[in-house]
Chain A
Amino acid sequence: MNTGREEEELTPAEIIKVLNEMYPCRSDFIENLTALLLNIKESLPRALYIYGHSGTGKTVILKELLRLTKKSIAIKTSYVNCIECYTTKILLENILEDLCDNEDTDIHCENLKEFIELLKRFYAKLRQTNLIIVLDQAERIRDMDANMLPSLMRLQELAGLNVCVVLVGQISFEKYYAQNGLTDIITLHCCQYTKSEVLLILSNHFEVARNNLRRYITTQQLDKNDTKAKLHIVEKITMEFFNNYLNILLCVFYKACRDLPELKNTADVCFISYMKPVFNQEVDVTDAQKLWRNITPTLRTALTQIYMPSHNSAKEDKRLFVKHHGKKRNRLQNINAKAKVFEKRSTAIGPKTFTIDRLLAIFYAILDEKVGLTCNLLSQISTLVQLKLLSFVSGENNVMDGAARLQCTVGLEFVVFIGKVVGFNVRQYLCDFM
C-alpha cells in the first residue's frame, strides 16, 4: 500500500500495525499469528495449521505477513500452493527455490531425504535463521506420498533448523490423521466475519465505489452539462449514504453468502444501478425509502446470479453451448432425454441407468416417422456421450455387445424446452406427471 515503508526494516510491532490497518476485524488472528511466527527470541513452533472458510482472509493475511517479513531480519519465507504441485518433486523444489535463493545452480531434489539434506547444507552456517514454509491448500498433501505430511510436520526435528511449516486449509485437522498417526500440531482458526464486521470492511470501499461511479459516468459519453451535474451528485455522496446502501445490500445477501470477495464484487456492481434513479433525477438522494424499493428487484436477480461465475460447472457450459449451436442434434437429444425422464419415476432420486437397446426402442416408439437405423444415428449417441449430455455408467469397453449402461445428465427444464422446440409434449410421457 504505502511503498515508502517497505524499504525499511519493520519490527514485529510495526508489522502487526500495518496488517491491522489493511485487514480490519482480524486483530485476534493477526496477534496470534505474529506471536507464533515473529517471535524471534524464541524458536518457532514446528508446525501450524490455519483453517477457516474460504474468503476469511487466511491466505491474504499470511501472504502479506510473509511479504512484510521478507525485508526484515533473519526470517526466510516460502509460499507454495499445493494444487500446483502434482508431484512431490515439484513441491520440494518450489520450497527450496524460495529458501535457498542465493545459489546460482539449479536445484534438483527428488525426494524428502534430498530435500532435508539440501536444507541442512544450505543453512549449515546460518543455524539460527528462522524459516517459515507456508503450504496453501494443504488438503492436497494427504493425496501425496504417505510420508509427506508426517515428515513435513516434523521438519524442525529432522533438519535440525529453526523451521516452521504452516499448513493452510479449509477443513479441520481431524480429517488429516492417517493410519500411522501424526505428531501434534498447533491449530489456529480463522472464523467468519459477522454482519457488522462485513459492513465495516465494505464501508472501507467507499472511495473505490465513488471512483467506479465516476468512471461509469465518463464512459457514458453524455453532453458536458449532464456529466458535470452527475459528477456533482457523486461528490455529494456521503459515507452515511454509502453505509445505508450497504445495509440494504446485506439485508438481502447476508443470508445467502458470507464470502467477502463475492460480497465486495456484488456491492460494486449493484451500487451503480442503485444510483441510477438519482442520476436521472427521479428520486432525491435523501429519499432512502424510494431507493430501497427501486433496488430490491435488482438485488434479488443479482442474488440468483451471484454464484454463476464461480460455481457453474463445465457440464452446464457445454449445455448452453449445445443449446445455441447444436440444432441438428435436437431430435435425438429430445428422444434420449425423454428416455432418461421415462426411467425417472421420481425427479428427486436422480436419473436411472439404461442400455442402448432400450434407448433405441423408446426412440422408435416415440418417433412417428420410421427412420432407418443408420450409422449416423448411432454415431450421434457417441457424440452425445462426448458432449457429456449422456454418460457411461458401466461397461464402456464393450459398447457393441450391449453390456454398456448409459445415464442422462441433463435436467427436466432442458428436456421440456426441447420438447417445445420440436413440438412434442414430454410431460405426457412422464409417469410423475400423468
Chain B
Amino acid sequence: ATTRIGTPKRSIHMSNVVEELVFDKREILSTPTLKSKKSLIFNKEEEDIEKILQRVTPKKPAEKTPKRGRRSNSNYLKDSETPKTPKTPKTPSQKLKMLRSGELTPSFKEREKIDQSKSTKNILQLARECLHVSAVPLSLPCREKEFENIYTFLEDKIKDQCGGCMYISGVPGTGKTATVTGVIRALQKQVQEEALPTFDYLEINGMRLTEPRQAYVHIYRQLTGKTVTWEHAHTLLEKRFTTTSPRRMTTVLLVDELDILCNRRQDVVYNLLDWPTKTTARLVVITIANTMDLPERLLMSKVTSRLGLTRLTFQPYSHKQLQEIVTTRLSGSEAFKSEAIQLVARKVAAVSGDARRALDICRRATEIADSSKDKEICVNLLHVQQALSEMIASAKVQAIKNCSRLEQILLQAIAAEVARTGIEETFFMGVYAQLENIAHYSGGVLIPTIGQVLRLCSKLGAQRLIICEHSRNDIFQKILLNVSMDDIHYALKVTSDATT
C-alpha cells in the first residue's frame, strides 16, 4: 500500500499521503535525489557532492538514529527552499501530484528537544553508540580482500565503459551490503578527483518492494525522481537501455535481496540481467543474496547464464575476525575487557558468524554493566555471560518450569502418550486417559474435566509448547509436542527435586 502508483484514486485520504511521505523519505534517504543526481552528473557544485556523499554513505538503518535523521532533514529543507520547487500545495490531491512528480520532498517532523552533547555521556554510552549496528565504519575490517575484488571489477567496468554482472552471496551479517556501498563511496571519491569517468549509482532492495515489478518504478524514480506505473517505467527503462545516446554514462545498479525479485515468470530478474548485455546500456548490475547456489537452484537457465560467473562469497566471520571488528569499533575506549570481547566473538562465531549479532550482544552487555551500578565502568566477563544467556539461551525449560501444576501434568501426559504409542502425533482422548492416570498417581490432584483440559491445551498451544488444533474438534483433536521430551523431564525433575 505504500507505493501507490498509477492513476490517482478518487478517494485519496490524508493518511495515504502521509504514508507516502514517510515512505518516500526513507526511500530517498539512502539514494540521491533528482537534483543531487544532476549536479553529480555535471559536476557543478562540489558542495552538493559532499552532501550527496554524506547521504549515500549511511547504511539503510542509519536513518533511525536521530542525529543523522536531523542532518539529512536539514538538507531536504534546504532543497525545498530552492526556487525551482513550487509553492505549498493547497489540496491533498495537489500534494499527491507533486509527490509523484518528485517536486515535493518528504520530510520528517523535527524533534524539539536537543539531544545531550557528547561531553555528558559516560564511557559506556559512547561505547554503545560506537557499537550500534547502524554506525557503519568507513572501512570495514576483515573485508579488505572482498573490497579489493569488487573495487577492481567495478573500476574496470567503468573505465572500459561496458556492462556486466556480479553475484555476491553470504549468510546475513557478513558485511556484503556495507562492503559494496563502501566500494561505491570510494569510486565516487575517485570521480570527484577526476581519476574516473562519472557514473550513476542506483540501488533497489527486494525486501522493500511490494511486488517484483515495482523494481522498475523504483529504478525510474531514482533516475528522474518521477513516480509512474510499472508498465510505463518498464518501457521507459527499456528505451533508455536499448537505444544509443552519445552522452550515456555507466550506470551501477545494486540489487539487494535478489531472491525476493524471483517470481514464477522471472521476467524482472531477466530484464535486470539482460540490459547489461546490451552494448548501448552501459549497465553494471551487482546482485546480493544469501544463498550461494541461488542461480542454479532458483533461476531459469537463461537468467543464470546472463548472471555470469563473476561471483564472490562472503564467508562468515571467524572468532578472531569478530574480535577485531568489535575492537576497531571501540578503538581507544576502555569500556570493554579484552576477554569479554573474546567470549562474545567465540560464542557468536560458533553459531552463525553474524557481526550484527556480536554487536547486539556487546551492546546488551554494556546496558547490563550500566545498570549494575558498579564503581568501575567496564564490561567484564559476568556481564557478557548474562547478556549471552539472555540472547542465546532457550526459554522453553523456563516456560515449562513456570507452568501451572495441571499444565505440567498435561505435558507429562502428552509425553507419556507419545512414548506409549511411539507416534509423534497424539489424539486428545489418549492424552486425557494418560492425564487421569498421572493425576491418580501423583495424588492430591483433582482430575479436571475434559473441558478444562481443552482450555489448558489451547493455553499451551498459544505458548507453542505444544501444537494443537482448534478446540472445536474436542476429543479428536491432534496434539504434537513442540518441546523435546528431555526438556520436559529436565524441567519437571529439577523442580520436583527442589520442592521435596
Contacts and interface: CB of A to CB of B under 8 A. Distances in A.
Interface of A: 142, 172-182
B387 interface: no
Contact of A174 (B459, B463, B468, B474): B474
B92 interface: no
Contacts of A181: 458-459, 461-463
A178 B473 CA distance: 11
B471 interface: yes
Interface in B423-451: 450-451
Contacts of B470: 142, 177-179
Interface in B146-175: none
A179 B472 contact: no
Given A176-B471, A179-B470, 19 more contacts: A142-B470, A142-B472, A172-B451, A174-B454, A174-B455, A174-B471, A174-B474, A175-B472, A177-B454, A177-B455, A177-B470, A178-B458, A178-B470, A179-B462, A179-B467, A179-B468, A179-B469, A180-B462, A181-B462
Contacts of A182: 458
B411 to A, nearest CB: 16
Nearest to A139: B472
* Contact size range, B: 10 to 19
B223 to A, nearest CB: 37
Most buried by A among B450, B467, B471: B471
Contacts of A177: 454-455, 457-458, 470-471
A180 B469 CA distance: 10
Interface in B174-232: none
A172 B462 CA distance: 20
Contacts of B451: 172-174
Contacts of A180: 461-462
Contacts of B463: 181
16 contacts: A175-B472, A176-B471, A177-B454, A177-B455, A177-B457, A177-B458, A178-B471, A179-B458, A179-B461, A179-B468, A179-B469, A179-B470, A181-B458, A181-B459, A181-B461, A182-B458
A93 to B, nearest CB: 18
A24 to B, nearest CB: 30
Interface of B: 450-451, 454-455, 457-459, 461-463, 467-472, 474
Contacts of A176: 471-472
Ranked 8 nearest A-B pairs via Cβ? A181-B462, A177-B458, A177-B471, A174-B451, A174-B454, A175-B472, A181-B458, A180-B462
B4 to A, nearest CB: 18
A366 to B, nearest CB: 42
B474 to A, nearest CB: 7
Nearest to A181: B462
Contacts of B467: 179
B470 to A, nearest CB: 6
Contacts of B462: 179-181
A176 B472 CA distance: 6
A174 B472 CA distance: 8
Contacts of A174: 450-451, 454-455, 471, 474
A365 to B, nearest CB: 43
B425 to A, nearest CB: 15
Most buried by B among A173, A180, A181, A182: A181
Contacts of A178: 458, 470-471
B119 to A, nearest CB: 43
A182 B461 CA distance: 11
Contacts of A142: 470, 472
A244 to B, nearest CB: 42
A177 B479 CA distance: 14
Nearest to B453: A174
A148 to B, nearest CB: 14
Most buried by B among A172, A175, A176, A179: A179
Nearest to A146: B470
A126 B467 CA distance: 43
A177 B455 CA distance: 7
Contacts of B455: 174, 177
A176 to B, nearest CB: 7
Contacts of A172: 451
Contacts of B459: 181
Nearest to B456: A177
Most buried by B among A173, A174, A177, A180: A177
A118 to B, nearest CB: 15
Contacts of B461: 179-181
Most buried by A among B457, B458, B474: B458
A40 B450 CA distance: 36
Nearest to A175: B472
B458 to A, nearest CB: 3
A142 B459 CA distance: 17
Nearest to A180: B462
A251 B274 CA distance: 88
A175 B471 contact: yes
A177 B462 CA distance: 10
A182 B454 CA distance: 12
A176 B461 CA distance: 14
A183 to B, nearest CB: 10
A176 B451 CA distance: 11
B12 to A, nearest CB: 16
B441 to A, nearest CB: 26
A298 to B, nearest CB: 42
B466 to A, nearest CB: 10
A175 B450 CA distance: 11
A173 B472 CA distance: 10
A348 B189 CA distance: 88
B110 to A, nearest CB: 28
A234 to B, nearest CB: 51
A173 B455 CA distance: 9
Contacts of B474: 174-175
A178 B469 CA distance: 7
Nearest to B462: A181
Most buried by A among B454, B457, B472: B472
Contacts of B457: 177
Nearest to A172: B451
Contacts of A175: 471-472, 474
B165 to A, nearest CB: 44
Nearest to B468: A179
A175 B470 CA distance: 8
Nearest to A178: B470
Contacts of B450: 174
Contacts of A173: 451
Nearest to A143: B472
Contacts of B454: 174, 177
A189 B223 CA distance: 68
A173 B468 CA distance: 17
B1 to A, nearest CB: 13
A179 B473 CA distance: 12
Contacts of A179: 458, 461-462, 467-470
A345 B451 CA distance: 39
Nearest to A182: B458
Contacts of B468: 179
Nearest to B463: A181
B264 to A, nearest CB: 26
Contacts of B458: 177-179, 181-182
Nearest to B471: A177
A352 B454 CA distance: 36
B398 to A, nearest CB: 19
A179 B460 CA distance: 9
